[in-house]
Amino acid sequence: MTINEISTEDAPAVGDVIMRTRNASVFYGEKQALFDINLDINACSVTSLIGPSGCGKSTFLRCLNRMNDTIENARVTGSYLLRGSDIYSPKLDVVELRARVGMVFQKPNPFPKSIFENVAYGPRIHGIGGNKDELEKIVVNSLTKAGLLDEVKDRMHEPGTSLSGGQQQRLCIARAIAVNPEVILMDEPCSALDPIATARIEELIDELRENYTIIIVTHSMQQAARVSHRTAFFHLGILVEEGETDHIFTNPNDTRTQDYITGRFG
Amino acid sequence: MNDHIVKAFSEELASLGQKIATMGGLAERQLSDAVTSIERNDLVLAERTVKADVEIDTAEREIESLTILMIARRQPVASDLREIMVALKIANDLERIGDLAKNIARRAERIIENHPHRAISGFVRMSRAAMQQVNDVLVAYSSRDTEKALAVWKADEDIDELYNSLFRELLTYMMEDPRNIGSCTHLLFGAKNIERVGDHATNIAENVYYLVEGEPLFDDRVRLDNTESSSAEIAN
């Protein structure tokens, strides 16, 4: 099966499960970093993964677009489904998968190319947007969705690295959007940004969730409370609790969750 | 529960609990003084009670500003958030209890002027029951005891019933001798105030329950104060 066989015909409805993991485990050499994670991710919603450093939340996030494949001696077991299809199937094209399940990293990492090229790169290698006009449309559209167009429209051919940190992060989001993903993974996307740039990204997340499924790893509890619909709390490689964000932040079921979010964890 | 990593936050929460306890003590004293002033015809005590209400108002303001600061500084969530919100609400109920006590003390002179002695004992009995409720609910708060809070919540019916029977009793005295009307009316307002004290104790009980359980207590209790539909016909 190739990724193209995974149905993309019907846009997923809000509340549908778009990604599902069962017994998701990760080993780094002999050491097990993630233990049997069972998690359903709802389409067109924001799910945040929280937990102390080393709890496995980023490891889990990286399983969802096979970023752990690139780490030597990392071994991934369990089942990972995108719309019911196994994303670890040997026949699957990983590059295609990463277009469907895009990623935004902690530090903005624009390519050392122009702003335009940063966004156009993905569509080009994936063969989307055949001619120049179409490509330009995709770039403009992606920059608009990322809330960056007005700030860069007169400097499209300047290097991406000439932008401010917050703008660079929005450029990276535009780059992820350009290949028309279904899911966007964000690994602490605001931790290198000031509060205003952070607020812009959070506003953007709120807009993007209408069309995309967003999974965000964050160290800021307040950010998780502000942006996400559901929150999953990881601790020592275990998924301790997952539920509606409103519930987790007012009356969590597990005392470990309670201790962590109220700042009582050692 | 474990302490916060940030010690100052734990200290603030402890201080908040302490302030509620102190304010609760003040409200209890005010209530007791107001009732005692009527029971013992003590107008000096009544006047002192009216003046002392300012202490409760000050305590409420202190709790208000502490909670606002804590929300701004700590962005509390989960049990901490409930702790702070509940303290704010309890402070408000205690302040109202203080106001009601002050109002009773203000009426003392008019009640004492010409009260039928028989009526006072019913008022005092009802007041004692309400004061017990306030005391119990403050203990429930400080010990985070939902069982006790629920007991207070349920016992409010008894106060409502005491109020209903006192209402009828006062009506008969007023019909027996119109000279009783003035003092009995003031006593009736006093009793209504006590009935409201019971309601505030119930509110606090609900908040203690929410604080501990994280879920609101569903209010399906039957309304028992039926004096609104009563009339003088009962004397016929």
pLDDT in tens, B32-52: 999 999 999 999 999 999 999
Number of A:B CB contacts under 8 A?
40
Contact residues of B toward A, CB < 8 A = 1-6, 9, 75-82, 214-215
Comparing CA positions, the residue from A77, A104, A101, A93 lying closest to residue A192 is A104
Tokens of B76: 């509390």
> Given a cut of 90, is residue B236 above it in pLDDT?
no
Q: Looking at per-residue confidence, does B236 or A159 come out higher?
A: A159
- For chain A, residues with pLDDT lower than 70 are 1-14, 266
Q: What are the CA-CA distances from residue B118 to residues B122, B166, B227 (Å)?
A: 8, 11, 20
Considering only CB atoms, which chain B residues are within 8 Å of A225?
77
pLDDT the model gives residue A29: 93
pLDDT the model gives residue A266: 56
Maximal C-alpha separation, chain B: 70
Q: What domains appear along chain B, each with residue ranges and CATH number?
A: 7-235 (1.20.58.220)
Contacts of A49 (CB under 8 A, 6+ apart): A57, A60, A61, A215, A216, A217, A218, A231, A232, A234
Query: Residue A29: how many CB atoms within 10 A of its CB?
Result: 10
Comparing CA positions, the residue from B188, B191, B34, B202 lying closest to residue B133 is B202
Predicted complex: ipTM over 0.95: no
Query: A262–B3: do the CB atoms touch at under 8 Å?
Result: no
Q: What is the C-alpha to C-alpha distance for residues B70 and A55, in angstroms, rounded to an integer?
A: 29
pLDDT the model gives residue B232: 45
Q: What is the C-alpha to C-alpha distance for residues A64 and A80, in angstroms, rounded to an integer?
A: 7
At B213, which amino acid appears? E
Tokens of A108: 């903005």
Query: A252–B78: do the CB atoms touch at under 8 Å?
Result: yes
Considering only CB atoms, which chain B residues are within 8 Å of A251?
78, 82, 214-215
Tokens of B151: 């007991």
pLDDT the model gives residue A84: 93
pLDDT band at residue B219 under the 50/70/90 scheme? low
- Note whether A108 and A169 are within 8 A (CB): yes
Mutate to test the interface with A, among B4, B6, B79 (most CBs of A within 10 A): B79
Mutate to test the interface with B, among A50, A260, A264 (most CBs of B within 10 A): A264
Considering only CB atoms, which chain A residues are within 8 Å of B216?
none
Considering only CB atoms, which chain A residues are within 8 Å of B1?
264
pLDDT the model gives residue B118: 77
pLDDT the model gives residue B193: 97
Shortest CA gap A263–chain B (Å): 6
Considering only CB atoms, which chain B residues are within 8 Å of A224?
none
Query: A266–B5: do the CB atoms touch at under 8 Å?
Result: yes
At A42, which amino acid appears? N
Mutate to test the interface with A, among B9, B77, B80, B210 (most CBs of A within 10 A): B77
Burial class (CB in 10 A: 0-12, 13-18, 19+), A260: buried
- Note whether A47 and A216 are within 8 A (CB): yes
Token pair 């929300």 in the structure block, residue: B71
Chain A, nearest residue to B2 by Cα: A264
Q: In Å, how far from its chain's centre is CA B174?
A: 28
Q: What is the C-alpha to C-alpha distance for residues B124 and B101, in angstroms, rounded to an integer?
A: 13
Query: A263–B81: do the CB atoms touch at under 8 Å?
Result: no
Q: What is the DSSP string of B138-195?
A: HHHHHTT-HHHHHHHHHHHHHHHHHHHHHHHHHHHHHHH-GGGHHHHHHHHHHHHHHH
Query: B6–A263: do the CB atoms touch at under 8 Å?
Result: yes
- Note whether A227 and A202 are within 8 A (CB): yes
pLDDT the model gives residue A246: 93
Q: For residues A45-74, b (16+ Cβ closer than 10 Å) or e, as one string?
A: bbbbbbbeeebbbbbbbbbbbbbbeeeeeb
Query: B215–A252: do the CB atoms touch at under 8 Å?
Result: no
Query: B75–A262: do the CB atoms touch at under 8 Å?
Result: no
pLDDT the model gives residue A70: 87
Query: B78–A250: do the CB atoms touch at under 8 Å?
Result: yes
Query: B5–A251: do the CB atoms touch at under 8 Å?
Result: no
**A42 three-class SS:** strand
* Entry pTM: 0.83
Torsion of CA A247, A248, A249, A254, to 10 degrees: 120
Query: A261–B79: do the CB atoms touch at under 8 Å?
Result: no
The pLDDT mean for chain B works out to 91
Q: What domains appear along chain A, each with residue ranges and CATH number?
A: 16-110+181-261 (3.40.50.300)
Shortest CA gap A266–chain B (Å): 7
Considering only CB atoms, which chain A residues are within 8 Å of B75?
222
At B19, which amino acid appears? K
Considering only CB atoms, which chain B residues are within 8 Å of A248?
78
Query: A258–B81: do the CB atoms touch at under 8 Å?
Result: no
Tokens of A254: 């597990």
Query: A250–B82: do the CB atoms touch at under 8 Å?
Result: yes
Query: A263–B4: do the CB atoms touch at under 8 Å?
Result: yes
Token pair 């007012």 in the structure block, residue: A250
Chain B, nearest residue to A220 by Cα: B75
pLDDT the model gives residue A197: 87
pLDDT band at residue B234 under the 50/70/90 scheme? very low
Chain B, nearest residue to A253 by Cα: B214
Q: What is the C-alpha to C-alpha distance for residues B27 and B200, in angstroms, rounded to an integer?
A: 12
Chain B, nearest residue to A222 by Cα: B75
